[in-house]
Amino acid sequence: GARGGLGAPMTGGGEVVLKKEEEQLRSVMKREALRSCDGLLKAYVDCTKENFISVVWACRPALAAVNECLAAETSDAKLEVIKADYARRKADEAAAGGAAR
């Protein structure tokens, strides 16, 4: 993608998001993904408890649903949206004289 000064990645709007910030945003995204997919995760865990011996076969649909949910919630496209939003807020705070988070 595009790069800002000193190798900092830029969002589509040209705002700079530092690598450290991107890692923090990715971590937050993953936590939120787990929350969003919590019901599916619980269903999978319940399935594994009920089907100890046949877990691989019996719980395959539940696992697929979890994986699909997590993939959607942690996609690169979603991260780009989160980064762009963060960069806009950071720029707004800087313009207002506040410290960026």
What pLDDT is stored for residue 52 in this prediction?
87
What pLDDT is stored for residue 5 in this prediction?
41
Return all residues near 78 (Cβ < 8 A) that are at least 6 apart: 29, 72
The dihedral over CA atoms of 75, 22, 98, 81, expressed in degrees to the nearest 10, equals: -20
What sign results for the dihedral spanned by CA atoms 23, 32, 67, 55?
Answer: positive
Residues of the chain below pLDDT 50: 1-8, 100-101
What pLDDT is stored for residue 31 in this prediction?
97
What pLDDT is stored for residue 85 in this prediction?
94
Q: Any idea where the domains of the chain sit in the sequence? A: 1-31, 37-76
One-letter identity of residue 28 = V
Q: Are 3 and 22 in contact (CB under 8 A)?
A: no
pTM over 0.85, yes/no: no
What pLDDT is stored for residue 9 in this prediction?
52
